Amino acid sequence: MERSLRIIASSLVLLCGTVPARAAGPSPDAATVDEDALCEPGASDNGPLNEAQLARCRQLWQERLQAARERSRVFLERATAEREEKRAAAANRAAQPAQPVTIETFIHAADIAYGDVVVTDRGPRVFVGKTGEPATEQDFVALDSARSPHRSRTGAYDGAYPHPQRPHAAKPRPASQQERKP
């Protein structure tokens, strides 16, 4: 709305040579606003601008450019400072390498029971010791071990990230001899 009013005002200035009266009375910046309106795109379509008006338009354009450059510089400085703060914070909280999970981690666990499966750095292990007695390394066996209570339900351990098996094609069903009845 304001832009269209500026264009109308600049057109009136060019056609009539006078500035339209303002409802609230003239303000100290009235001449500047009218000059700004002359510099709007499309305002000079009605007639050519004289040298003084062109110089004022250039000056306004340069002021706008300088203000935009200043905003850009401030934004860039702020973004750079924030990025440096994030980098410093990330460096301060650098992740420490996790300790490997071994069988010794579970030897002193009081809540481990027969048949419990624990995952260590050497793969899943089954506790086959007695509940309530101190555990030893021999009480933890592989899933497919003969002593494991889970051996009938397991396959060989392929590692933490096994290669996916390719899906098998569906077998066609044999044609049934029974006919459908309506």
Whole-angstrom distance between the N-terminal and C-terminal Cα of the chain? 74
What are the DSSP calls for 88-101, one per residue? Answer: HHHHHTPPPPPPP-
What digits encode the pLDDT tens for the residues 158-173?
A: 666 666 666 667 777 6
What digits encode the pLDDT tens for the residues 17-44?
A: 555 455 444 454 555 556 666 677 665 5
What's the pLDDT at 24?
A: 47
What digits encode the pLDDT tens for the residues 64-114?
A: 999 999 999 999 999 999 999 999 888 888 767 777 777 787 777 778 888
CA distances from 115 to 34, 72, 170 (A): 89, 65, 36
Q: Among 83, 127, 87, which Cα is nearest to 108's?
A: 127
Q: Among 170, 114, 120, which Cα is nearest to 139's?
A: 114
What are the DSSP calls for 15-31, one per residue? Answer: HHSSPPPPTT---TTHH
pTM: 0.35
What digits encode the pLDDT tens for the residues 106-144?
A: 777 778 888 888 888 888 888 888 877 888 888 888 887
In this predicted model, which residue has the larger pLDDT, 60 or 95?
60
Cα–chain center distance at 20:
52
